[in-house]
Amino acid sequence: MSTAGQVIRCKAAVAWEAGKPLSIEEVEVAPPQKHEVRIKILFTALCHTDVYYWECKGYTPLFPRILGHEASGIVESVGEGVNDLKPGDHVLPIFTGECKECRHCLSEESNNMCELLRINCDRGVMLADGKTRFSINGKPIYHFVGTSTFSQYTVVHVGQVAKISPTAPLDKVCPISCGICTGFGATVNVAKPKKGQTVAVFGLGAVGLAAAEGARVCGASRIIAVDVNPRRFEEAKRFGITEFVNPKDYDKPVQEVIVEMTGGGVDRSVECTGSVQAMISAFECVHDGWGVCVLVGVPKKDDAFKTHPMNLLSERTLKGAFYGNYKPRTDIPMVVDKYLNKVSWGWIWTSSSHTLCLLPILTRHSTTCSRV
């Protein structure tokens, strides 16, 4: 029996207060409005960004809310004006969008700074009418980054939905919608290490391991991991990491350690922690004359980056990367296709202090995300 045009009642994990356990509730999910898509979420992963906004440390609280943004599912129904998606399509909801009409979307020099659908963590309503599509007994439940995948059904703007191959295993590709593209693309698309160069990766979470994998694919000769958690080091070898540095093991700044061990600094560095100190270290550890540092981690809103101007005048390059420099609707289907064409790619679970993340490795080892 078709549910198109009807309110759907389903289960969702609702955050009622900052830092309080999520509560499994029955929610009402309204039909999609103009330029919207209702998706049946089949698999979802947990990203640290969900945790940050659940804790609300340094961020504007907005509750009750349904978090989640790293997921995969199937289109249940579409709203007015949606012509490139239909019920049954396999999709990845993306936390940032591509309207395909604004200056950024039309520019060959800007990949994912869409003026209409750029990530907005403070907005909890839909653009069409400024209202939510979630409710409990008439009480509105706010959205999160336009996706809210901790629900069996969600409503997303069509510009934040990437249609993928129906042959792609949804339990495996859901992390491509966030962590994998963010880290892998930061290295391959932005840092662009040349074959034989050295790369330092700061942070060995999901994004950092994906960044390391990108360095391996580019042919880096040395991939140096920097992390304060030594338990992550052994697993990271499977992503191409060749050496490990724990800043806690030294009585001097870690950038000085890396400069010494590489004879002047690494050729490229990718920072994936959100720590301002790690950002500074990542920039100051690249070689003068040609070194490139790419910042990926999201800092707290009041943080400030400080370094001596001579670090720039000595021809080091500092860049930022958002979502791996990928256009969500245009590029992500091709990323999934590349995954499908490389049979040796697989996925593993790794744990951190707050969450479980899915990560890519070049083995046949396989497991699944959480099923919704």
| Structural domain includes residue 134 | yes
Q: What is the mean pLDDT of residues 56-82?
A: 93
Q: What is the mean pLDDT of residues 25-42?
A: 98
How confident is the model at residue 219, as a pLDDT?
A: 97
Q: What is the mean pLDDT of residues 101-130?
A: 92
DSSP per residue, 237-271: GGGT--EEE-GGG-SS-HHHHHHHHHTS-BSEEEE
- CATH for 25: 3.90.180.10
| Structural domain includes residue 338 | no
Domain termination site, one of 157, 177, 197:
177
Top-confidence residue, 195 or 300: 195
Claim to verify: residue 126 and residue 245 sit in the same structural domain: no
pLDDT in tens, 209-221: 999 999 999 999 9
Phi and psi at residue 44, to the nearest 5°? -145, 150
Q: What is the mean pLDDT of residues 122-145?
A: 97
Domain termination site, one of 279, 302, 321:
321
pLDDT in tens, 277-315: 999 999 999 999 999 999 999 887 788 999 999 999 999
3 state DSSP class of 72: strand
Claim to verify: residue 166 and residue 195 sit in the same structural domain: no
Top-confidence residue, 342 or 159: 159
How confident is the model at residue 58, as a pLDDT?
A: 65
Please count the structural domains in the chain. Answer: 2
Query: Which of the listed ranges 107-111, 166-170, 365-369 does the model predict with the highest average pLDDT?
Result: 166-170
Claim to verify: residue 83 and residue 229 sit in the same structural domain: no
Whether residue 194 is predicted with pLDDT greater than 80 in this model: the reply is yes
d(CA 118, CA 114): 5
| Structural domain includes residue 101 | yes
Domain range for 89:
8-177
Q: Which of 21-25, 301-305, 342-346 has the lowest mean pLDDT?
A: 342-346
Domain termination site, one of 177, 193, 211:
177
Claim to verify: residue 149 and residue 73 sit in the same structural domain: yes
Answer for the pair 44, 372: CB distance below 8 angstroms, yes or no.
yes
How confident is the model at residue 371, as a pLDDT?
A: 61
User: H/E/C letters for each residue in 301-353?
Assistant: CCCCCCCCCHHHHCCCEEEECCHHHCCHHHHHHHHHHHHHHCCCCEEEEEECC
How confident is the model at residue 370, as a pLDDT?
A: 56
Whether residue 30 is predicted with pLDDT greater than 50 in this model: the reply is yes
What band does 366 get if pLDDT is binned at 50, 70 and 90? Answer: very low
Claim to verify: residue 56 and residue 201 sit in the same structural domain: no
Whether residue 67 is predicted with pLDDT greater than 70 in this model: the reply is yes
Angle, to 10 degrees, between the axis of helix 276-284 and the axis of helix 254-262?
20
Burial level of 196, CB count in 10 A (0-12/13-18/19+)?
A: exposed
pLDDT in tens, 152-171: 999 999 999 999 999 999 99
Claim to verify: residue 196 and residue 298 sit in the same structural domain: yes
Whether residue 364 is predicted with pLDDT greater than 60 in this model: the reply is no
| Structural domain includes residue 354 | no
How confident is the model at residue 368, as a pLDDT?
A: 39
Residue 280 tokens read as 């500074």
Whether residue 94 is predicted with pLDDT greater than 60 in this model: the reply is yes
How confident is the model at residue 57, as a pLDDT?
A: 73
| Structural domain includes residue 145 | yes
Q: How many other C-beta atoms are found inside a 10 Å radius of the C-beta of residue 280?
A: 19
Answer for the pair 71, 174: CB distance below 8 angstroms, yes or no.
yes
Claim to verify: residue 105 and residue 193 sit in the same structural domain: no
Claim to verify: residue 118 and residue 168 sit in the same structural domain: yes
Claim to verify: residue 266 and residue 215 sit in the same structural domain: yes
How confident is the model at residue 359, as a pLDDT?
A: 32
Claim to verify: residue 197 and residue 307 sit in the same structural domain: yes
Q: What is the mean pLDDT of residues 222-251?
A: 95
